[in-house]
Structure 1
Amino acid sequence: MRKTISFVAAFILAAPPAAQSQDPQQPSSIEAKLDLLLTKLGAVEERLDRLEQRLGMGGAPESTHAEETAERIEALDRQIQQLAQSPVVEAGPDGFLLRSYDEAFKLRIGGYVQADGRFFVGPDQIGANTFILRRVRPILEGNLYKGLGFRIMPDFGEGRTSIRDAYGDFHYWPKTSFRFGKYKAPFGLERLQSSAELTFIDRSLATALAPDRDVGIQLYGDLGSGFFSYAVAVMNGVPDGESGDFDDNDGKDVIARVFLRPFVAKRDRHALGGLGFGIAGAGGEQLGSRLPVYKTVAQSVFFSYAPDVAAAGDRWRFSPQAYYYAGPFGLMTEYVVSSQDVARAGFGARLRNTAWQVAVSYLLTGERRTYRSPAPARPFDPGSESWGGLEVAARFSELSADPAAFDRGLADITISAQRAREWVAGVNWYLARNNKFVFDYEQTRFTGGAAPGNRPTEHGFLTRFQVYF
């Protein structure tokens, strides 16, 4: 019996902390029950010690009393086994989590809401001043069994309903996994960053040329704990900057991306520990599908093709990309080329549009910057004179449409701008890991886009309050 008690006590003391609440000041019900059972086992062990002493002195305990003690030990052992195999419920900054004791089945409930304001200043502004729910996205993700994951994320922002993510993952091997469904195409560096983790209100002009979400299958993996990651996908194919739920032609896009972080293993000790760089490419054939429109960071359309122009052949994209993070400093840059064969009334052309961006940021309160959004070292709490984290940021980006589009009547220079150059300056106030305010001022200059001359420069003051869990 003493061996049984020792085994049970050791099992309790070695139980994994995942079964416990994330807040040590508020123990979970399972933790409290285990503590109670441990206390009871201690009392039983003391009684057994006394019984053994009596036996050693020639005394004889009553048989019924010994049997009762053995039954109580067996009952406690059964309770411990049941508790160890009970489902676990957790709540914290990353949302709400339900999981089985062996983590074979898991469900995380999270999401984020972004309440924005867009205000345009200066003469001849095209955009309207408005408050808007830019994104309202609940998230369900987890495992249906070991190695079988899923993610579902609808979006109710901007008065519309859509499915942004709906995919399954087959990831039994860390170096090779499979994904199928609707998800982000493995292409743009800024695009692959979660919308809840962005440094600015919205993405740059470079991302306007990168595909967004699409439906397909993907092989991906990581070699060396982040040292080398790769992804290869076959997808329906979507216009630049857009998402799709189905295909209107037989053509498909093949997309591939590799990304290296050569010093990630020494990121806390090496000056280049936060360096990452990669390259992405995509190619396919699209016949008769629609063509993209390009928008400013304030979501104003500045370029579109003539209504009767459609895709008419090969499409390819190419993007070198990199980031660098060192302490509170962050830098991100990428260059994107998008080439598409188009046609109008029997006349065809191959158009090549290009874009680039450079973005820098610095956390004035000293937190460490990474590809993900930072968590303030001292979350907002006026009572303890904690004010959260403060960050300043700036970005420059440019998009140039192929001049041949205007020379051949595929786009109208009096409506669509041939080039857009934007710069953004911003301040981010991180109240906590889950909440932040973003204040951006953006200015976009255009070449063309008006009759006559250039479209008026866009001046926008953009705000956001975000709740993320």
Structure 2
Amino acid sequence: MFAQQIFLPEVQRRRKSHRIGLNSSARFQRTLRFTKVMLIAGLVTTWTFCLGADPVLAQHSQAPVHFEPELLTQSDQDFLKLPDELLPAPAADESDSTNDQLMEDLRLLRQRLDLIENELAEERAQQKKSEFAAKAAKQKLPSIDWTAQLQVDTVFSDQSEENRLAVGNAPNGTDFRRARLGAVGRYQEYYEYRIEMDFALPGRPSFLDVWVGHHNVKYFGTIRVGHFFEPFSLERLSANRFSTFMERGLADAIAPARNTGIAVHNATESQRLMWQYGFFKSGSDNYGDDTGDSPDWAFSHRIVWAPGLDKANTRYLNHFGFAHSIRRPDDRLYSIASTPEIRMSESGGASIPNFVNTGNIPASTVDLINFEMAFVRGPLSFQTEYNYVQVDQINGPRVNFHGAYAFVSWFVTGEHRPYAVAQNKNSRPIGMFGRPIPFTNVLPAPGSTETPSGPGAWELAARWSWLDLNDQNIQGGNLHDLTFGVNWYLNPYTKVQFNYIHPILYKQNFGTSSANFVGMRVNWDF
């Protein structure tokens, strides 16, 4: 039993190490190597005993048995250097029985080593199977995050008599500007989806962003199919929940809204260059539907350059963009209309009227062009856009309309307007602004325990905007707005806005008129 006494304790110790969790590939290979070394050592020991016990065998053995040291680890070499007194030779008259016993011990040792190898192989196979099953289960289950948004507005209006005659009465009131509920998530590694509905509009809930996308498509980037904004205009693409003012500028009336289609967006690794393009139905309604005998379509594309963009720090930003859209309007009719930069409506009741309106224009094709620019220098930011539209009338001259805005904002408390950048390889930015984060919170933010309490973030802003819908036989009006705003961010998800809007309208047959509006909004979202 000598070999069993020498080798089995060490084998059993290493076998125990594997059973308590050392199942890595490196330890597995090391155990197999060591057991094989022990087996060789056992054979050598047996052969040595046999030589010592049998004079005939000893006489015919000319070369000593030795190992190549470089084939053994230092610990294995030290283990084999046993003192001679631990290896007593059996008596000559017991040589046959001793040899038989040693051979039996080695046979049993080999069986035990084979058993250990098989058990370890089974454990590794089971571990790989479990890891694969866990990964597959994770990829098959889609993630889902609920989103919601509430915007409650209160508006006070004051019109001159000339303005009331030109556009009609603008009422005071309170309403839900937006009441939205949605779900957003991922499926497997590269799929994403978003389903968002608005309950504040009259009638059944309206479709907003309802789409599915696939990331990392070779040569394309991200492909998105569904109902969403066409790639046109910085202010149009930036989420209204992050907007500096209660409403977008007057030039936004020219930008296309959400439509049903397919689009691609991609960016360089640095995200300093981004591009988007897509094909859409040009006349989708609030439910994503577009039917009729006259085919309508739109091709829109946008490119953004953000030189010097630092994805880790967007307190300093330069943003330049260009967009173009060519369209065949739904039912061959095209129109542009806009209220001042304030909204108020009641289902079946009074609402703030449009101050400018082209009416329906019979048109074969429409071309839209956009130039956008923005700068951020810490708490100070500047943003401007110019929109141009060219309408080819079916039985009339080509007409052109224009719109623009420019605004400046300043965070008194030192925060800044953050630029939306992609956080991982499986998403792509589209060149827009994101959610401002206050240094301190008046109200605790959901899931936040680290932001200290304080006054929140305070932002001051001023904007000029313009929309000219007068050209040739179309006299839709010329409108200028001056807007001043104060924003109070109680936490990243709760904001109170105060706006003063002074529209100045020129309308054919009515001359120049003006009005004043004061609006307040409470915005909450997650």
Give the TM-score normalised by the residue count of structure 1. Answer: 0.72
Contact 2:140 2:187 in 1 (8 A): no
- Residue 362 of structure 2 is aligned to residue 311 of structure 1: yes
The CA distance in 1 between the partners of 2:287 and 2:503, in whole Å, is: 25
Correspondences of 1:195-214 after superposition (within 5 Å): 195-214=240-259
Find the counterpart in structure 2 of residue 365 from structure 1: 413
1:7–1:440 distance in 2 versus 1, CA, 3 Å: farther
Find the counterpart in structure 1 of residue 103 from structure 2: none
Q: In structure 2, what residue type is equivalent to 1:208?
A: A
Find the counterpart in structure 2 of residue 40 from structure 1: none
1:243–1:367 distance in 2 versus 1, CA, 3 Å: farther
Contact 2:334 2:363 in 1 (8 A): no
- Residue 465 of structure 2 is aligned to residue 397 of structure 1: yes
The CA distance in 1 between the partners of 2:217 and 2:300, in whole Å, is: 22
RMSD: 3.4
Give the superposition deviation at 1:298. Answer: 1.6
Find the counterpart in structure 2 of residue 377 from structure 1: 439
Q: Deviations over 1:254-293 (max 9, x none)?
A: 1110001111137749x9x411111000113335234232
Correspondences of 1:446-461 after superposition (within 5 Å): 446-448=505-507, 451-454=509-512, 456-461=513-518
**SS of residue matched to 2:325:** strand
Find the counterpart in structure 1 of residue 144 from structure 2: 107
Contact 2:139 2:189 in 1 (8 A): no
Find the counterpart in structure 2 of residue 194 from structure 1: 239
1:424–1:242 distance in 2 versus 1, CA, 3 Å: farther
Contact 1:322 1:333 in 2 (8 A): yes
Q: In structure 2, what residue type is equivalent to 1:166?
A: V
Q: Deviations over 1:324-363 (max 9, x none)?
A: 11211111111000111235xxx42221110111111111
The CA distance in 2 between the partners of 1:243 and 1:359, in whole Å, is: 33
- Residue 386 of structure 2 is aligned to residue 335 of structure 1: yes
Q: Deviations over 1:67-91 (max 9, x none)?
A: xxxxxxx9xx99xx79x9599xxxx
Q: In structure 1, what residue type is equivalent to 2:213?
A: D
Find the counterpart in structure 2 of residue 297 from structure 1: 341
Find the counterpart in structure 2 of residue 437 from structure 1: 496
1:236–1:420 distance in 2 versus 1, CA, 3 Å: same
The CA distance in 2 between the partners of 1:293 and 1:243, in whole Å, is: 21
**SS of residue matched to 2:376:** strand
Give the superposition deviation at 1:367. Answer: 1.3
Q: Which has the higher helix share?
A: 2
The CA distance in 2 between the partners of 1:277 and 1:210, in whole Å, is: 17
The CA distance in 1 between the partners of 2:18 and 2:307, in whole Å, is: 51
Find the counterpart in structure 2 of residue 33 from structure 1: none
Find the counterpart in structure 1 of residue 154 from structure 2: 117
Q: Deviations over 1:144-168 (max 9, x none)?
A: 3321211111111144421011111
The CA distance in 2 between the partners of 1:253 and 1:304, in whole Å, is: 22
Percent identity over the alignment? 23
Unmatched 5+ stretches in structure 1: 10-73, 88-99
Find the counterpart in structure 2 of residue 259 from structure 1: 304
1:107–1:323 distance in 2 versus 1, CA, 3 Å: same
Over alpha carbons, which structure has the higher Rg?
2
Q: In structure 1, what residue type is equivalent to 2:479?
A: A
Contact 1:427 1:438 in 2 (8 A): yes
1:430–1:107 distance in 2 versus 1, CA, 3 Å: same
Give the superposition deviation at 1:185. Answer: 0.5
Contact 2:207 2:287 in 1 (8 A): no
Q: Which has the higher strand share?
A: 1
The CA distance in 2 between the partners of 1:159 and 1:285, in whole Å, is: 28
1:234–1:172 distance in 2 versus 1, CA, 3 Å: same
Find the counterpart in structure 2 of residue 97 from structure 1: none
**SS of residue matched to 2:333:** coil
Q: Deviations over 1:204-260 (max 9, x none)?
A: 011111011011111211112321111111111149x99963154213111110001
Correspondences of 1:58-457 after superposition (within 5 Å): 85=134, 101=138, 105-124=142-161, 126-160=169-203, 161-173=205-217, 176-238=221-283, 245-248=289-292, 249-265=294-310, 268=313, 273-286=316-329, 288-299=332-343, 300-306=353-359, 309-343=360-394, 347-370=395-418, 371-381=433-443, 386-404=454-472, 408=473, 410-411=474-475, 416=476, 418-448=477-507, 451-454=509-512, 456-457=513-514
1:86–1:242 distance in 2 versus 1, CA, 3 Å: closer
1:326–1:267 distance in 2 versus 1, CA, 3 Å: farther
1:86–1:282 distance in 2 versus 1, CA, 3 Å: closer
Contact 2:357 2:469 in 1 (8 A): no
**SS of residue matched to 2:227:** strand
The CA distance in 1 between the partners of 2:481 and 2:327, in whole Å, is: 30
The CA distance in 1 between the partners of 2:217 and 2:340, in whole Å, is: 41
The CA distance in 2 between the partners of 1:168 and 1:292, in whole Å, is: 30
**1 or 2 for the larger relative contact order (CA 8 Å, sep ≥6)?**
2
Q: In structure 2, what residue type is equivalent to 1:435?
A: T
**SS of residue matched to 2:413:** coil
Unmatched 5+ stretches in structure 2: 1-15, 25-122, 344-352, 419-432, 445-451
